[in-house]
Amino acid sequence: MTAQAEAGVGAILKRVVANAGVLLGGRSVNAVLGLAYLAVAGRSLGAAQMGVLVLITAFAQFLGDVVKFQSWQTVIHYGARPLAEHDRTAFQRMLRFTIVLDVASTVLGVAIGVAGAFVFADELGWDGAMAPVAALYMLSIVFLVSATPMGLHRLFDRFDVLAQQTALVGFVRLLGSGVAWAAGGGVPAFLLAWAAGSLAGWIYLIAMALIELRRRDLLAGFSWRGRLAEGLPGVWRFAWNTNLAATLDVAFTHVATLLVGALVGPAQAAFWRVGRQVADAIAKPAKLLTPALYPELARLRAGDRHDAMWRLVRHVAVLAGGVGIVLLGVAAVAGGPLLSLVMGKAFAPAAGVMTWQVAAAVIGIFALPLEPMLVSLGKPGLAVRVRLAVSAAFLVALPFLVSAFGLTGAGAGLVAAAAAMALGLLGFILRENGTRRRETPPPSGSDDSLKGEA
Give per-residue pLDDT as tens, 196-232. Answer: 999 999 999 999 999 999 999 999 888 888 888 888 8
Instruction: Name residue 309's amino acid.
Output: M
Whole-angstrom Cα distance, residue 32 to residue 24? 12
Whether 25 shows a pLDDT value over 70: the answer reads no
- Which of 99-103, 222-226, 247-251: highest mean pLDDT? 99-103
Whole-angstrom Cα distance, residue 433 to residue 418? 22
pLDDT digits (tens, 9 = 90+) for 282-309: 666 666 666 677 777 777 777 777 777 7
Under the banding of pLDDT at 50, 70 and 90, the label for residue 342 is: low
Mean pLDDT is lowest, of 138-142, 191-195, 309-313, 443-447, for: 443-447
pLDDT (0 to 100) of residue 99? 92
pLDDT (0 to 100) of residue 166? 84
* Domain assignment of residue 230, yes or no: yes
* Domain assignment of residue 2, yes or no: no
Buried b (16+ CB within 10 A) or exposed e, 5-27: beebbbebbebbbebbebbbbbb
Regarding whether 302 and 176 lie in a shared domain, the answer is no
pLDDT (0 to 100) of residue 202? 93
Regarding whether 330 and 242 lie in a shared domain, the answer is no
Regarding whether 322 and 223 lie in a shared domain, the answer is no
Regarding whether 317 and 204 lie in a shared domain, the answer is no
Cβ neighbour number for residue 445 with a 10 Å cutoff:
5
pLDDT (0 to 100) of residue 6? 52
* Domain assignment of residue 85, yes or no: yes
Whether the CB-CB separation of 19 and 158 falls below 8 Å is answered with no
pLDDT (0 to 100) of residue 136? 92
Regarding whether 106 and 161 lie in a shared domain, the answer is yes
pLDDT digits (tens, 9 = 90+) for 173-204: 999 988 989 888 888 899 999 999 999 999 99
Whether the CB-CB separation of 224 and 96 falls below 8 Å is answered with yes
* Domain assignment of residue 35, yes or no: no
Residue range of the domain that includes 129? 44-247
Average of per-residue pLDDT across 11-17: 66
Whether 277 shows a pLDDT value over 90: the answer reads no
Average of per-residue pLDDT across 253-280: 75
* Domain assignment of residue 449, yes or no: no
Mean pLDDT is lowest, of 3-17, 114-128, 321-335, 382-396, for: 3-17
Closest CA to 186 of 44, 36, 347: 44
Regarding whether 99 and 56 lie in a shared domain, the answer is yes
- The alpha carbon torsion through 325, 330, 336, 342 (nearest 10 deg) reads -120
Instruction: Name residue 135's amino acid.
Output: A
Whether 435 shows a pLDDT value over 60: the answer reads no
How many structural domains are present in the chain? 2
Whole-angstrom Cα distance, residue 34 to residue 197? 11
pLDDT (0 to 100) of residue 260? 79
Phi-psi region of 28 (alpha: psi -120 to 50; beta: other; left: phi over 0): alpha
Closest CA to 293 of 382, 210, 367, 379: 367
Whether the CB-CB separation of 448 and 2 falls below 8 Å is answered with yes
* Domain assignment of residue 33, yes or no: no
pLDDT (0 to 100) of residue 19? 60
Under the banding of pLDDT at 50, 70 and 90, the label for residue 454 is: very low
Whole-angstrom Cα distance, residue 413 to residue 405? 11
Whether 268 shows a pLDDT value over 50: the answer reads yes
pLDDT (0 to 100) of residue 196? 93
Regarding whether 344 and 210 lie in a shared domain, the answer is no
Regarding whether 270 and 172 lie in a shared domain, the answer is no
Regarding whether 241 and 288 lie in a shared domain, the answer is no
Whether 21 shows a pLDDT value over 70: the answer reads no
What average pLDDT does the structure give for the chain?
Answer: 79
Regarding whether 297 and 157 lie in a shared domain, the answer is no
* Domain assignment of residue 205, yes or no: yes
Entry pTM: 0.63
pLDDT (0 to 100) of residue 2? 52
Whole-angstrom Cα distance, residue 201 to residue 31? 15
pLDDT (0 to 100) of residue 451? 35
Regarding whether 415 and 369 lie in a shared domain, the answer is yes
Whole-angstrom Cα distance, residue 200 to residue 231? 34
